[in-house]
Structure 1
C-alpha cells in the first residue's frame, strides 16, 4: 500500500507498473500535505484515506493488460514527412519539435559508427522498465537530429544514464532536475563541439542535438512523460552539452575534468551530473585572485547548492564552470585547481537563517542525526555560517565559455539524485574523424 498526494497518483501508478507491480493499491491525500494544517491532515487520514487503506489491503486487484512493443526492425508507420510528425506526436514519441524520421537506412548509418551489436543491452531504465539497447540509442539519435558519427558519444551517455549511482529513476521528481552533460577529449574538436563563447547556447549541432538526445531517450526509453511519470513542478528544457576548453586549461597548467575523475589525459570521456539549480556569478573580475574567489563564493552561497540533502548526510557535488579569463587570473596568482577547490570548500558558506522554514526543520534533523558535523556543526543555532559540501573534491571544476569574459556558471547537484557518473567513449576500430566542411 502506498500513500501519495493526489497530484502524484498518475505518476505513482505508472511507476508501480514499471516496477512490475501494476496492481499496487494507493491511498490518496487530496492536494499537497505541505499546505494543509495538521488537523485537516488528520481529518483526511481518518476518513477517505483510511477507507482506501482497508480496501487496498483486502481486495485483490484486477489483472493488468499485457502490452507488447514492436521489434527492432518492424515498420511501425508509413507516410509523408508531415504525417510522420503527427503520428509521433500522437504517440508521445516527440517532445513537440519536428523529428528526423528514423528509417532503417538512417538507423543503419548510425550503427556503422560502433562495433557493438544492435541487440546489445546497455541497461534497463526506470520508470518504464525498458531495455536501453544499441539499436534504440541509434533510433533516438536519428530522431534528435544527431549525425551518425555522434553514435559513440550517445552510447557513453546512455551507459552513464544506466549506472545505478546516477539514479535516473528519480529524475521525475518535483524540482524537475535537468542533467548537465560534459564532454572531454580529442572528440570535442573532431565532432565540432563549441567550447568557447556561447558554450551552452543552441547553434552548434553536436552540443545541441546530443543535448536533445538525452531528453528524447529519457522520454522514449526510460519513460519520463510530463503529466504522467515526470512530475517536475516547472521543469526545464534539455541542456546543451558542455564541452571543456582543454587547450585553455592546459595553457594555464590545469588538467581537464576527466583527469580529475580518474581518466587519462587524451581519453574521450562523457560525464553526466544533475543540475537542479543553475546560476551565474556575473562579472566576478577583480584586481586580485582572492577577490575573484570571494565573488564566486558569494554566489555559490546564494545558490544554496540544494543543501537540504546535505543535512540528510547525502553527498552534494556542485559544478563550477570558469571561463579562461577567470582561470588566467587565478593561475597567475599561483592557484592550482586543487587550491581553488579548497578555497571554495572553506569559504563558500551559507547563512543558515536564510533558509526557508521546512529546510530549517531538515537542518535540525540533520544536527540531531549527527550528519556531517565537520561542515554543519552540532548546534541548532541559525545565526551562523556553515560549509556547503563535505570535501573539496566534491566540487567539479570545468573550464569553458567565453575566453574574454569574467562570468562563472554554478550548477547545484541534487544530493541523492544524479551523482556524477563518467564513461569513456568507445570508438570503433575503423574510426576516422569526420572531415570538416570546406
Structure 2
C-alpha cells in the first residue's frame, strides 16, 4: 500500500512530467502559468478543466486520492550503467554539427574528445576511470563516472591539471543549470594552493573571459549537463529568458594573497592548505559605482542588495582586495564576519515591498504560514513597517577577488550551497606558480 497522491503540473510541463522524472504516477494538469497569477486565477485552475482531459481538476484530484491509480504508459528511466561507444569517424565540421544537433554543446565549438585526448585528461587524477563521481539524484538522473567527466573536460578545452577541480565541482552533485523557469545561475569559487598550481585568475579581470582555467573549468560543468541530458529545452530546461552567466558559471578563485581576511574555505572549516571548491547559486549581480567614497562599503552594499528579492536572506559580496583593505583599516571591520553583520543590520526594506515579490510569495510565504520565524512575524506587520531582510549575517558571504586597480565590489543574491575537496581527486603535487604569471591569459593550447 502506498500513500494516496495527486500529482499536479501545469500543462506547459507535460513533456517534462512524463519524461521519466515523475515515474509512472499519472499527472493532473492545470492551466499555465502559476507564477504571477492572482489567488482567484489559481483557484480557477483547480475548479476549472484539465486542459488534457477536459475534466474538472478538483474532481480528478479527489479521484486520485480515493481510487486505485491508473498507471500511465511505460516511462523512461535513468540508466545506472552508461553505454560507452565511439562515433563513426567523420570530418571535424560534421562532428561539430553532430555534437550540436545531439545537444552535447553550449552552441560554441568544442574540442573533439578523441581517445588520446581523453586518456591524457585522465592522467590529471589518481582516480580510476570507472570511479563514480556523482550518483543519480532528482536533478541529475544519471550516474557520472570519472571517464564521463574526462570526456566533457576535453570538450570544454580544459587541461589535465584542471581536472581535479572539475571533478570536485561535479562531486557536489549540483547542476550548473537548474530546471527552473527562473534564470538561475551558478558560481564556482576555488580556494587553496591549487589556484596557483592551475594558474587560475583571482586578480585583474577575474570575471572576464581571458583565463583558460577559469573559463574551461566553469564551461565543463555546463557541458556535463548537456551531455547527461540535464539541459534540454522543454524537458529539463525551462528558464523563460535564460542567463548568459551559465556559459562558465562565474568561475573564479579567491585572491588569498592580497586579502586582509580569512579565506572563504577556512571560514567553512577547511585548513588553509586544503584546496576546495565552493558552489553558489542565485539570479542577479550588481556592481558598485563608487558610492563608497561618500558612504561606507556596508551602506553601499546594502543599497545594492535592497534591489533584490531577499527571499532566503542570502547574499554574496565579491570585493576587491583594495576595497577590503579600506573596509578593515578605515571602516573598522576586522573580519569578514564583522562586515557581514554590518551589511545585515544596514540593509532594509518595507514589509510591503518584501512580500510583494513573486519569489518571496511562492518560496517564503509558505514558511510564514508554517510559523517559521522571522517570516511569521513579518507577515503580521503593517505594509510600511521596516524589516531587515538579510537578517542572518551567516548567510552573507564575502569573497575577496580582484586586481587592486579600483576599490570596487559586486553584490549578488547568490546563496552558498556547498563545498567539496579538490585534493582527493589529485594525481600528485603540482608545481607552484612561482614566476608571477598566474592569472594571466595563457598561450593557445596545441591539442594535436
What is the TM-score with the length of structure 2 in the denominator? Answer: 0.82
For 2:268 and 2:44, the matched residues in 1 are separated by 50
- Is structure 2 residue 298 aligned with structure 1 residue 293? yes
Q: CA deviation at 1:434?
A: 8.2
Task: Output the CA distance in 2 between the equivalents of 1:409 and 1:169.
Answer: 21
> Could you tell me which residue of structure 2 aligns to residue 150 of structure 1?
162
Whole-Å Cα distance in 2 between the matches of residues 383 and 338 of structure 1?
30
Change (3 A) 1:365 1:142: closer
1:241 aligns with 2:251: yes
Aligned-partner Cα distance in 2 for 1:85–1:343: 51
Q: Distance in 1 between matches of 2:158 and 2:10?
A: 39
Q: Which residue of 1 aligns with 2:373?
A: 372
Residue in 2 aligned with 1:277? Answer: 284
Residue 420 of structure 2 corresponds to 422
Partner of 1:108: 119
* Cα 1:132–1:2 shift into 2, 3 Å: same
CA drift of 1:370 comes to 3.0
**What residue is the counterpart of 1:178 in the other structure?**
185
1:63 aligned onto 2:67: no
Q: How far apart, CA to CA, are the structure 2 residues paired with 1:30 and 1:377? A: 32
> Structure 1 59/52 Cα, relative in aligned 2: closer, same or farther at 3 Å?
same
Q: Distance in 2 between matches of 1:170 and 1:403?
A: 31
Distance 2:213 2:301 in 1: 29
The Cα shift of 1:26 comes to 1.7
Correspondence 1:317 to 2:314: yes
Structure 1: runs of 5 or more not aligned = 311-315
- C-alpha distance in 1, partners of 2:369/2:430? 58
- Distance, in Å, in 1 between the alignment partners of 2:70 and 2:365 is 41
CA distance in 1, matches of 2:377, 2:264: 28
Match of 1:41 in 2: 45
| More displaced 10-residue stretch of structure 1: 405-414 or 334-343 | 405-414
Please name the residue that 2:92 is paired with: 81
Structure 2 gap ranges (5+): 1-5, 444-448
Residue 274 of structure 2: aligned partner: 267
**C-alpha contact (below 8 Å) 2:176/2:186 kept by paired residues:** no
Is 1:4 the counterpart of 2:9 in the alignment? yes
Are the equivalent residues in 2 in contact too, given 1:284–1:406 (CA < 8 A)?
A: no
What RMSD, in angstroms, separates the aligned Cα atoms of the two structures?
3.1
Out of 203-212 and 388-397, give the one that drifted further: 388-397
- Taking a change above 3 Å as real, the CA distance of residues 332 and 156 of structure 1, as seen in their structure-2 partners, is same
Q: Which secondary structure state, in structure 2, belongs to the residue aligned with residue 74 of structure 1?
A: coil
Compared with structure 1, are the counterparts of its residues 339 and 27 closer, same or farther at alpha carbon in structure 2 (3 Å cutoff)? Answer: same
Q: Confirm or deny: 8 A CA contact 1:270 1:425 kept in the other structure.
A: no
Q: Which has the higher helix share?
A: 1
- Per-residue deviation, residues 343-393 of structure 1 (Å, max 9, x unmatched): 112112222222426567566655453322399647331212222235222
**CA displacement at 1:191 relative to structure 2:** 1.3
- Residue 262 (structure 1) shift: 0.9
Contact 1:11 1:230 in 2 (8 A): no
Deviations 1:185-204 (A, max 9, x none): 12212212111222111121
In structure 1, the residue corresponding to 2:304 is in which secondary structure? Answer: helix
CA positional deviation for 1:206: 0.6
Distance 1:223 1:378, change over 3 A: closer
Q: 2:205 matched to which residue of 1?
A: 198
**Aligned to 1:285, what secondary structure does the other structure show?**
helix
After alignment, is 386-395 or 373-382 more displaced?
373-382
Segment of structure 1 superposing worse, 124-133 or 54-63: 54-63
Using a 3 Å threshold, how does the CA distance of structure 1 residues 329 and 18 change in structure 2: closer, same or farther? same
Give the C-alpha shift of residue 215 in structure 1: 0.8
- Report the CA distance between 1:82 and its aligned residue: 0.8
2-structure distance, mates of 1:218, 1:70: 17
Query: Match of 1:32, SS?
Result: coil
CA 1:85 to 1:226, structure 2 compared with 1: closer, same or farther past 3 Å? Answer: same
User: What residue in structure 2 maps to residue 118 of structure 1?
Assistant: 129
Instruction: Supply the distance in 1 between the matched residues of 2:82 and 2:380 (Cα, whole angstroms).
Output: 59
Q: Residues 105-140 of structure 1: CA distance to partner in whole angstroms, max 9, x if unpaired?
A: 111111111111111112223445200111101011
Aligned pairs, number: 413
Deviations 1:278-313 (CA, angstroms, capped at 9, x unpaired): 2223213326xx6222111111111233x1xx3xxx
Task: Report the equivalent of 1:313.
Answer: none
1:303 is paired with a residue whose SS is coil
C-alpha displacement of 1:265: 1.1
Equivalent pair of 1:202/1:240 in contact (CA under 8 Å): no
